[in-house]
A and B are shown apart, each in its own frame.
Chain A
Amino acid sequence: MSQSGEIRLKGVSKSFGDTHAVRDIDLTIANGSYCCLLGPSGCGKTTILRMIAGHETPTSGEITIGGQSVVGLPPVQRGTAMMFQNYALFPHLSVRDNVAFYLKMRGVRKAERRARAGEMLERVQLDHLADRMPAALSGGQQQRVALARALITNPRVLLLDEPLSALDEFLRLRMRSELKSLQNQLGITFVHVTHTQPEAIALADLVVVMDHGEIVQADTPEAIFTRPATPYVARFMGGQNVVTGTVTSAEAGEIRIAGKDGAFVAIDPKGEGAARDATIAFSIRRDRILLTPASGEVAAEPNLVVGSVEEIEYQGSFVKVTMGRDGEPFVVHVPDQVFFATPVAVGDRVAARWQAADTHIIDRPVGAEETFVYAEEVV
């Protein structure tokens, strides 16, 4: 077995009866990287994880780990270990016996497996609870046991199915940083399924955004956040206003767009231009917008949206101001100092301005079939 934990999926599809859970996926996860599969429930991310783990067989396509085809192999021969969403700790075995289960399956003698399980528990700081039953542990402790039980197999790939979703907010943040430092220490590949955007951004080297069984964008967190490939990604990642409009003129380095709210100018970094009259979508980060009170008529100018304040939400380091627009709200994140120096109130007319360079043109043209399934608003 090669020691490399590089995972390649080539043309992988999975259907359950008439339902296509995953369609024709191509993905490479580099050895030793931290990859987050991100998407709403039912997008196929868990199915991909389970296919890598060997708990589902692809309907078609090829999966290799470290260059070796693994379809049809049991998990132990793949060098993968999985941490289940509900941890799946065996309720009838003590913490130590849960961790030692893998060694018992391999026929390791009792004294040795007890010692090795003890060492692994020490590593997750749970050696003092080794004789407890899983039901007597807190959620965070159970998670550590599950982690220890997976790591004792000495895997080259660790698969985590929504590992943090059962924890409360405080514990989630702590375990998040522990997972990251553990991955740094071990240097093995982590594949982590989540539906929480901040989790993916904070942890991953590679974020894979999925929708309806397909990969929409796979890139670094920074690229996903600042240069979303589709309106779906922009909306799902949050922190952006997504606007659609018609191209009125396209010159080298600059595109002018007419939207419902007026004229926008966007810097075209690729210099490819855009077809006149094409409908394109673009995004503007909420924290790159300047909000000023607008008394009286405001002369139309590019990169300006005028509206009235509909909602104000204090978020600590910034204030989330929502302006009313047709269809979709336009949200501005105002730094708290700025906001409290010149506060606005619900009902006030305000003008929002930004730099042309902060307008990101979303590559893919918007078709009529573009759907947005994830309705939850993300701060």
Chain B
Amino acid sequence: MAATGTRRDWSFWVLAIFFGLFVVFLYGPMITIYVLSFQGPTGGLTFPLQGVSLKWFGDLFGQARTGDVGGAFSRSLPLALAVMVLTVLIAVPAGLAFRRNFYGSTLIFYAAIASLIVPGLVLSIGTLVTFNFLGLPARWYTSALGAHLSWTIPFGLLIMFAVISRLPRSYEEAAYDLGASRFQTLMLVIVPIVFPGMIAVALFGFTLSYDEFPRSWLTTGPKNTLPLEIWTMTTNVTSPSLYALGTVTTLISFLVIALAIGSIAIIQRRRLRAGG
């Protein structure tokens, strides 16, 4: 510390400035939007603030709403939840399967990684063309769901790889040694140990889907999801309602994260208390 009389090295200041800039660029735009969403009734899209009000939040949900925000949200939230559940149900067993060197595992791994590399807009077009070819209409709960899963499952799989790399086979063997069936081993040993990893997979599944734009672009059909609706609004809405919407959607994201982390804490506490 400076108080001890030692002078800071020049590298400290360089790195401190670098880090400061990093934080400003990371949070600056977000904070700007949150602040501007409380713009006074006479204010515009830019600083300075003309007083403080909740008018733009009211506009968002009121009669004078600026777009189909409620409708978009009522599609984005179930979509993100469905993607979350399906990602966990598919990526977690898939990750566990990769602990055994099954035939074709390398091929499946590369196929999964390839779908992360394909540009989302291209995938969006491809999904739409395929659905047209099959004579199916594009809907948020069919084509968009599939397009999102092609993005979230490989992500979930990569998270599971990190989780299972710290899961030695001896846990299963110990359970088997103590008379547990395969199902008991899975439910009483493996799942509890990888549970935090499953929450991480779920969170990634939710947030990747909730704010996905490119893979939703052509696959949601006639009705927009939230990111598409916001994008549409940026082109024709010129009020701070846009910012209010940003603030609200961020709050929802935080709420989901808090729920997830809170549920981990509750489960762990209950497990400690219950015993046996």
Knowing that A75-B177, A96-B276, A102-B178 are A-B contacts, what are 9 other residue pairs whose CB atoms are under 8 Å apart, sorted by A's residue number? A76-B178, A90-B174, A90-B193, A92-B192, A92-B193, A96-B275, A110-B276, A149-B178, A150-B177
Instruction: Type the 1/0 row for B148-187, where 1 means its CB is closer than 8 Å to any CB of A.
Output: 0000000000000000000010110111111111001000
What residues of chain A lie closer than 8 Å to B179, measured between beta carbons? 74-76, 102, 105-106, 153
CB proximity to A under 8 Å, residues B39-89: none
B269 beta carbon closer than 8 Å to chain A:
no
Instruction: Type the 1/0 row for B9-43, where 1 means its CB is closer than 8 Å to any CB of A.
Output: 00000000000000000000000000000000000
Chain A residue, CB-CB nearest to B191: A92
Indicate if the CB atoms of A105 and B174 lie closer than 8 Å. Answer: no
Indicate if the CB atoms of A74 and B176 lie closer than 8 Å. Answer: yes
B interface residues (Cβ-Cβ under 8 A, vs A): 168, 170-171, 173-181, 184, 188-189, 192-193, 195, 271-272, 275-276
Indicate if the CB atoms of B272 and A94 lie closer than 8 Å. Answer: yes
Complexed CA–CA distance, A113 and B224 (Å): 57
Indicate if the CB atoms of A55 and B176 lie closer than 8 Å. Answer: yes
Indicate if the CB atoms of A55 and B173 lie closer than 8 Å. Answer: yes
User: A82, A86, A90, A100: which contacts B177 (Cβ < 8 A)?
Assistant: A82
Indicate if the CB atoms of A88 and B173 lie closer than 8 Å. Answer: yes
What residues of chain A lie closer than 8 Å to B275, measured between beta carbons? 94, 96-97, 114, 131
Complexed CA–CA distance, A227 and B102 (Å): 48
What residues of chain A lie closer than 8 Å to B173, measured between beta carbons? 55, 82, 84, 88
Indicate if the CB atoms of A105 and B180 lie closer than 8 Å. Answer: yes
Indicate if the CB atoms of B189 and A90 lie closer than 8 Å. Answer: yes
Complexed CA–CA distance, A327 and B163 (Å): 50
Indicate if the CB atoms of B170 and A84 lie closer than 8 Å. Answer: yes
Instruction: Type the 1/0 row for A88-122, where 1 means its CB is closer than 8 Å to any CB of B.
Output: 11111010110011101110001001100000000
A218 beta carbon closer than 8 Å to chain B:
no
Indicate if the CB atoms of A97 and B176 lie closer than 8 Å. Answer: no
Chain B residue, CB-CB nearest to A153: B178
User: A74, A88, A113: which contacts B168 (Cβ < 8 A)?
Assistant: A88
User: B174, B195, B272, B276: which contacts A88 (Cβ < 8 A)?
Assistant: B174
- Shortest CB-to-CB span from B239 to chain A, Å, is 51
Indicate if the CB atoms of A101 and B271 lie closer than 8 Å. Answer: no
Chain B residue, CB-CB nearest to A74: B176
Chain B residue, CB-CB nearest to A109: B276
Complexed CA–CA distance, A55 and B176 (Å): 9
A81 beta carbon closer than 8 Å to chain B:
yes
What residues of chain B lie closer than 8 Å to A149, measured between beta carbons? 174, 178
Chain B residue, CB-CB nearest to A76: B179
With A102-B179, A106-B179 already in contact, the answer to whether A91 and B174 are too (CB < 8 A) is no
Indicate if the CB atoms of A90 and B171 lie closer than 8 Å. Answer: yes
Indicate if the CB atoms of A91 and B193 lie closer than 8 Å. Answer: yes
